[in-house]
Structure 1
């Protein structure tokens, strides 16, 4: 093998060989050397956790085995990306670096800029290719949906014809979380990573579990089974979003031909799921277009309106707010690394409205708890649920009402809050209204941290006061033009009608169901 022939393929959030555009195109140019870089500095970030790394580690172990069977080594190195690339360059005079485009957090964005500079100085061509519907560079939202549709329907990449690589580089070990000094993470029910797990999960969803997806996805009880549960596999690329979309559409076509029992329910559920795959890319596009979304209010009118509260934050993050359903959701998330989208939205909303905390620290906490943390989706949704986008109506959940609707008998609450096992059904969502609460709950479960009806009303009034200004409307229209969905056109007249509806300020705790909510219930 001559110097410069090696095609160095840098794996990031694309931990598979199937439908891997980068791997396929690189293999057409020459011998491929696959590389994964474990970056300790990244894993010290405030939005990372052991549950995320452990899932990735599962994926890497299986990916290395797959490459071994093809006679190609998967090199794993731990350290700074530029230092690792420099070391490999000393032994393998590569001139081509390949990777998929990554819509990551601020840290990975800055790292990629540094790598680009390193490549330019050394005359190395770095080819980055898309692996989803996100468009890099100036994007036109009016045409985005059509482009995304083209990507999703395009033929999947064939398995690459990999020449056996004669690299003498040592493989390198795949470190455990403790080796990276990642804080211990008691996620006892974490999903297992790896492509084989992803395929099994996808197949069980589109052929068995997904029948009632459209109806069941709102409840944390039924969603555990009826949601697809492939979100971490999409986040780290053990499955490609294109193969998932096409597999779903293929099964839907089979259903439409009348070959599947329960075709009506199946058809609606798979259509609903496919639309969420669309929204998956839609929200990622927002962060791609505006990297500041991770740390800066999308609409400047909300700058400085909220602050931090250590006591509120600790109570909320531990599942000790005194609202049983909210606490049960948080404890489930802590133990499993997953909860359905509606409950994710509720947890974020409670932090922003009822506890009136700035969204950044709660956003980081939720990011750490999500095994399937996808920065583009996560930060778009956090701002959306906190009301700082300026283009989405405030979503203020009633924590007691949600519990009564989603878990009327209290099974879910009692499972995750065993200290409430003795509370009668009629008081399970407001246990301190029970006459014997003082005797049984005094030292085991806290009283509500605040009066939820009172603080919700105050928060609603504050937000609507801001939304009513002319300057707010002007900025919001610009935000909509840049980031808003074109599936339902946003009109100035509609915005003014909603913003000037004074009745909104008088409604107690009404929850407005919006088209964009529950769109990421993957």
Structure 2
């Protein structure tokens, strides 16, 4: 009889397009396991919103396994101790898992598990996950590798899963220590919207609704805090938890593009052109999704350290707590910034343009180190993905040495993306009675109008925490000086050689 195979789920919580599951099933009977790890549950980048999505995904995944005759086990504890205990009562010959690029804790855990497996005589199969390449020698040719992976055949969901008989599995789990079989504590789950729920079915439904209807105006509307929640794909949560593969999303977009081309052979209209542009933009963002995660895969230290030492000491090691709290709580006196932070805390999502703006504001206007502001956003982004998050934190803080320095003007962003003030009025209701023009810089509103609307700036809503023009000029001059130093020292070239997209040469990036 073939030896038992263990499918280890991490951030790949799905049945469809799951190569480790297919490989394990080809080798023998299988059992799936997900391990709730206390060090991850209580990590500084974790929040109850993540637990809610995880619970959604696990409940659906377990039901999918059971419907196919398979056994799915949830355990609790530190790895590899949990695997060692399980192996003693339910001997398995191999572990099948996806390669994972997550945080420092998962990086260290995977190394421990590999060492344990080698010592225990258990074969470890770690298969590529989406477009991220492990042990990448050079960025040259990475884009072509990504394309090949994205266009390769999807792994179909199995109709049946062969597992040991239920009595054997149940007896083995029952023999484990009780603390490995029970949760270490319940989490209070906040009210939630369907936009930010988890699970494979929801991920597929969200992708379908985007490609069939919601995504037509994606390219134009993606930056608007008012329109983006509907016009964007909203599959980022499913991608972060692996309930949907990047490859599936990419191939679905390509199929939709082919359908549109077929539909328009006998007709030409603006809708088709609009769809085509949106699908190109969407596919491009799937590419960038893996591009940024690849950076953390290649250099895990980027979660906590600058790309180059030249940026060390750029900002104070100890943050100005008044500034940090005001930014976190949406009390900076900059209406769009405050609206974004308040919205994010409640909904767990912002469109990319607004994410970049709030990070830029914290880094440049408030001169806060990304290592103090990044954890706040990590906890609040329901779709938190470390490889994207930490590299973007550094990118929007100007500490990569190879990217154009972009200091977002929050007033200009408000005028361009919330001209009627709908977003600010929703999330900063104390300003709701002001005119559209006054919403941008409410401190310039005549005092009599402030009194008439019941919102006196400095009493009912804060004055700007910093002076925009002064803060902007200081940050601009300081950043350009240090970026020139990075170029002179050669550190910028070193960063580009290791992490830069080969689409754009370094000289064009540093102008």
Question: Aligned pair 1:258/2:263, yes or no?
Answer: yes
TM-score, with normalisation over the residues of structure 1? 0.90
Structure 2 equivalent of residue 486 of structure 1: 502
CA distance in 1, matches of 2:330, 2:137: 41
Q: Is the 8 A contact 1:391 1:479 kept in 2?
A: yes
Structure 1 equivalent of residue 218 of structure 2: 213
1:470 Cα deviation after fit: 6.6
Question: Secondary structure of the residue that 2:34 maps to in structure 1?
Answer: strand
Question: Secondary structure of the residue that 1:86 maps to in structure 2?
Answer: helix
1:467 Cα deviation after fit: 1.7
Q: Is the 8 A contact 1:187 1:334 kept in 2?
A: no
Q: Deviations over 1:405-433 (max 9, x none)?
A: 11111111000111112222221121121
Question: Aligned pair 1:397/2:408, yes or no?
Answer: yes
1:471 Cα deviation after fit: 5.5
CA distance in 2, matches of 1:447, 1:416: 17
Number of residue pairs the alignment of both structures matches: 491
Matches within 5 A, 1:99-114: 99-114=97-112
CA distance in 1, matches of 2:9, 2:509: 44
Question: Secondary structure of the residue that 2:129 maps to in structure 1?
Answer: coil
Structure 1 equivalent of residue 249 of structure 2: 244
Q: Deviations over 1:112-155 (max 9, x none)?
A: 11111111111111110012110001332111011110000000
Question: Aligned pair 1:369/2:366, yes or no?
Answer: no
Question: Secondary structure of the residue that 2:196 maps to in structure 1?
Answer: coil
Question: Aligned pair 1:162/2:161, yes or no?
Answer: yes
Q: Is the 8 A contact 1:466 1:472 kept in 2?
A: no
CA distance in 1, matches of 2:455, 2:300: 50
Q: Is the 8 A contact 2:23 2:96 kept in 1?
A: no
Pairing partner for 1:227 from 228, 232, 241? 232
Structure 2 unmatched ranges of 5 or more = none
CA distance in 2, matches of 1:315, 1:87: 48
Structure 2 equivalent of residue 152 of structure 1: 150
TM-score, with normalisation over the residues of structure 2? 0.92
CA distance in 2, matches of 1:35, 1:472: 51
Q: Is the 8 A contact 2:49 2:189 kept in 1?
A: yes
Residue 65 and residue 72 in structure 1: after superposition, are their counterparts in 2 closer, same or farther (change >3 A)? Answer: same
CA distance in 2, matches of 1:84, 1:119: 12
CA distance in 1, matches of 2:88, 2:478: 60
Deviates more, 1:416-425 or 1:255-264: 255-264
Structure 2 equivalent of residue 11 of structure 1: 9
1:73 Cα deviation after fit: 1.5
Q: Is the 8 A contact 1:19 1:158 kept in 2?
A: yes
Structure 2 equivalent of residue 82 of structure 1: 80
CA distance in 1, matches of 2:489, 2:152: 39
Q: Is the 8 A contact 2:6 2:32 kept in 1?
A: yes
Q: Deviations over 1:247-269 (max 9, x none)?
A: 10000011122359611000110
CA distance in 1, matches of 2:366, 2:210: 37
CA distance in 1, matches of 2:351, 2:137: 30
Matches within 5 A, 1:238-387: 238-259=243-264, 262-307=271-316, 308-387=319-398
Q: Is the 8 A contact 2:404 2:509 kept in 1?
A: no
Q: Is the 8 A contact 1:71 1:165 kept in 2?
A: no
Residue 188 and residue 124 in structure 1: after superposition, are their counterparts in 2 closer, same or farther (change >3 A)? Answer: same
Structure 2 equivalent of residue 35 of structure 1: 33
Question: Aligned pair 1:425/2:436, yes or no?
Answer: yes
1:83 Cα deviation after fit: 1.9
1:373 Cα deviation after fit: 0.7
Q: Deviations over 1:194-230 (max 9, x none)?
A: 1111111100000100001001001111101100000
CA distance in 2, matches of 1:153, 1:316: 43
CA distance in 2, matches of 1:180, 1:431: 45
Deviates more, 1:117-126 or 1:159-168: 159-168
Question: Aligned pair 1:461/2:481, yes or no?
Answer: no
Residue 138 and residue 440 in structure 1: after superposition, are their counterparts in 2 closer, same or farther (change >3 A)? Answer: closer
Question: Secondary structure of the residue that 1:244 maps to in structure 2?
Answer: helix
Structure 2 equivalent of residue 134 of structure 1: 132
Residue 440 and residue 367 in structure 1: after superposition, are their counterparts in 2 closer, same or farther (change >3 A)? Answer: same
Q: Deviations over 1:370-411 (max 9, x none)?
A: 111111111111110000000001110111111111111111
Q: Is the 8 A contact 1:70 1:164 kept in 2?
A: no
CA distance in 2, matches of 1:235, 1:469: 36
CA distance in 2, matches of 1:435, 1:412: 23
Q: Is the 8 A contact 1:51 1:187 kept in 2?
A: no
1:185 Cα deviation after fit: 6.7
Matches within 5 A, 1:91-106: 91-106=89-104
CA distance in 2, matches of 1:418, 1:314: 20
Deviates more, 1:261-270 or 1:455-464: 261-270
Q: Is the 8 A contact 2:403 2:509 kept in 1?
A: no
Q: Is the 8 A contact 2:31 2:163 kept in 1?
A: no
Q: Is the 8 A contact 1:19 1:159 kept in 2?
A: yes
1:469 Cα deviation after fit: 2.7
Q: Is the 8 A contact 2:486 2:492 kept in 1?
A: no
Residue 147 and residue 92 in structure 1: after superposition, are their counterparts in 2 closer, same or farther (change >3 A)? Answer: same
CA distance in 1, matches of 2:355, 2:500: 21
Residue 495 and residue 31 in structure 1: after superposition, are their counterparts in 2 closer, same or farther (change >3 A)? Answer: closer
CA distance in 1, matches of 2:260, 2:487: 50
